[in-house]
């Protein structure tokens, strides 16, 4: 790796970092707006997803390795689905089986 390659990679990382800082500032601006809860939630979630995508793609080098990107995506989707299906069991444990009373 040459010195020019290192500078180009570092410049890209600094640029992504500055974009994440700008997105964080946008979140502060959104937080202090007089918005209803649903609208604020949607905007904050949108900005947070963009920040997370930038962090994952560039700082975890997922943009350079397509196989790792697929693995992380499938693993995250599987974890979210597992949590989704686990909620029904936690409701059953907390409230009991409906037909048992």
Tell me, rounded to whole angstroms, the distance of Cα 3 from its chain centroid. 33
Asked if residue 32 lies in contact with residue 43, where contact means CB atoms within 8 angstroms, the answer is no
User: Is 56 found in the same domain as 75?
Assistant: no
Q: pLDDT digits over 13-51, tens only?
A: 889 889 999 999 999 999 999 999 999 999 999 999 999
Report the mean per-residue pLDDT for the chain.
84
81 and 55 in a common domain? no
Q: For residues 48 and 27, is the Cβ–Cβ distance under 8 A?
A: yes
Rounded Cα distance between 28 and 51, Å, is 14
Structural domain total, the chain: 2
State the residue range of the domain holding 23.
1-64
| Same-domain status, 88 and 47 | no
- Percent of the residues in the chain that have a pLDDT greater than 90, as a whole number: 41
Q: Where residue 60 falls among pLDDT bands split at 50, 70, 90?
A: confident
Do 18 and 40 reside in the same domain of the chain?
yes
pLDDT band at 100 (very low <50, low <70, confident <90, very high): low
Indicate whether 81 and 34 sit together in one domain.
Answer: no
Q: Which residue has the tokens 């997803």?
A: 49
Is residue 101 pLDDT above 60, yes or no? no
Structure-token match 């937080």, residue found: 31
Query: What's the rounded Cα separation, in Å, for the pair 9 and 86?
Result: 42
């Amino acid at each position: 790796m040459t010195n020019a390659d290192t500078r180009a990679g570092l410049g890209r990382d600094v640029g992504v970092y500055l974009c994440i800082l700008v997105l964080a500032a946008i979140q502060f601006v959104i937080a202090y707006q007089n918005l209803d809860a649903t609208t604020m939630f949607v905007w904050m979630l949108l900005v947070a997803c963009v920040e997370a995508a930038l962090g994952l793609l560039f700082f975890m080098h997922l943009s350079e390795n397509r196989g790792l990107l697929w693995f992380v995506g499938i693993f995250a989707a599987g974890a979210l689905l597992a949590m989704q299906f686990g909620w029904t069991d936690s409701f059953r444990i907390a409230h009991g089986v409906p037909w048992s009373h």
